[in-house]
Amino acid sequence: MPVIPSYGGGRGKSRNAVTESVNFLKTVIYYSKSKYNERIQKYMARFTNQAQLRYGNEITNSNIAVGEITEVLSATKTAVRDTYGQNENVTYVISIVNSGTTAFNGITVTDNLGEYLFNTRELTPLTYIPGTVKYYANGILQATPAVTAGPPLTITGITVPAGGNVTLTYEAEVNSYAPLAAEASITNTATIAGAGVTPVTVSETVNAASGPLLTITKSVSPVPVTENGTLTYTFLIQNLGNTAADAATGVVITDTFNPVLENLTVNFNGTAWAEGTNYTYDTTTGLFTGTAGGITVPAATYTQDPVTGAWGINPGVSTLVISGTV
């Protein structure tokens, strides 16, 4: 599915907002049409009938008559991305199709933002981002409807035109109640309801992104250092992701030391590194380059507070120490 650009109420706006807006509208129109056709197929229930005549010792069957029953109001819900990470935004698209000949007015859409039960508490791993709701009827942008952030998120005052469709898009931020471990997921459910409408429920599941997520912090000691003294750089490399960074990940560390160091000693997690095997060093420029895959970092572990239900991250850690003479 085409990627819809992020609209976050002032968050991370594009340098070219006009171009993104046009592309976004084109994507929504395309998406609405494709989902309309998809839902018509899904909600058409086929039925068949065959008559039979008996007379004397004779039996004759009619042809098989085939018909279809289509729900008047149907919907789908889809996330633009199928994975999420800590504090990331997820964009949702709800497409509502009216196959009837009468418009539906005063429709309300309620989204539980992934609510789940933890002990005796209801936790919501998603937080609606204010100002991100966009409302399209037959692909045309409408005035922003009434929105209550919740939880649950509630969007009211929607009209689904006869024989037409409505597309709603909105963003939610992944918060501290979202699980991050490998194979974790968030399923959130939206309900479309209104006067004279049989409520329609749609759900979407997004999975926790799988992979390493590395950060690096560099410190120097001593400060100050005397001329011809020994200077030590310590690199703390942390993995916030749910997957270890192993040799196959191919992590490479580079640094240009200024002032240039001489007589290097290098240790990674307490093990000495050898020049030419584990790293290269240019004594003219001060460029240090680690061998690809030499840096490995275990996966993070995650714990859920037994009282609040908030998830905490215990990052995997590796340490590289480089010393040399100034």
Lowest model confidence (mean pLDDT) among 30-44, 83-97, 187-201: 30-44
Confidence of residue 68 (pLDDT cuts 50, 70, 90): low
**pLDDT value, residue 313:** 96
**Dihedral over Cα of 29, 30, 32, 36: its sign:** positive
Average pLDDT over the chain, rounded to whole? 88
**pLDDT value, residue 72:** 87
**pLDDT value, residue 7:** 39
pLDDT, average across residues 294-317: 97
User: And the tokens for 264?
Assistant: 């290097």
Per domain, the residue ranges of the chain are 17-208, 214-325
Closest CA to 304 of 315, 294, 313, 291: 313
**pLDDT value, residue 70:** 57
Lowest model confidence (mean pLDDT) among 3-7, 227-231, 285-289, 320-324: 3-7
**pLDDT value, residue 47:** 76
Confidence of residue 65 (pLDDT cuts 50, 70, 90): confident
**pLDDT value, residue 273:** 98
**pLDDT value, residue 90:** 98
**pLDDT value, residue 10:** 38
Decide if pLDDT at 48 tops 70: yes
**How does pLDDT run across 267-290, given as a tens digit for each residue?**
999 999 999 999 999 999 999 999
Lowest model confidence (mean pLDDT) among 29-33, 178-182, 197-201, 242-246: 29-33
DSSP state of 15: S
CB distance 170 to 134 below 8 Å = yes
DSSP state of 35: H
Identify residue 152 by its one-letter amino acid code. Answer: P
Q: What are phi and psi of 308, to 5 degrees?
A: -85, -25
17-208 placed in CATH 2.60.40.740: yes
Decide if pLDDT at 14 tops 70: no
Q: 199: number of CA atoms within 13 Å, CB side?
A: 10
**How does pLDDT run across 74-92, given as a tens digit for each residue?**
999 999 999 999 999 999 9
CB distance 154 to 190 below 8 Å = no
**How does pLDDT run across 248-260, given as a tens digit for each residue?**
999 999 999 999 9
Confidence of residue 63 (pLDDT cuts 50, 70, 90): confident
Burial 284-303 (b: 16+ CB within 10 A, else e): eebebebbeebbbbebbebe
Confidence of residue 196 (pLDDT cuts 50, 70, 90): confident
pLDDT, average across residues 304-314: 96
**How does pLDDT run across 126-177, given as a tens digit for each residue?**
999 999 999 999 999 999 999 999 999 999 999 999 999 999 999 999 999 9
**pLDDT value, residue 25:** 47
Q: Which residues pair with 272 in a beta bridge?
A: 267
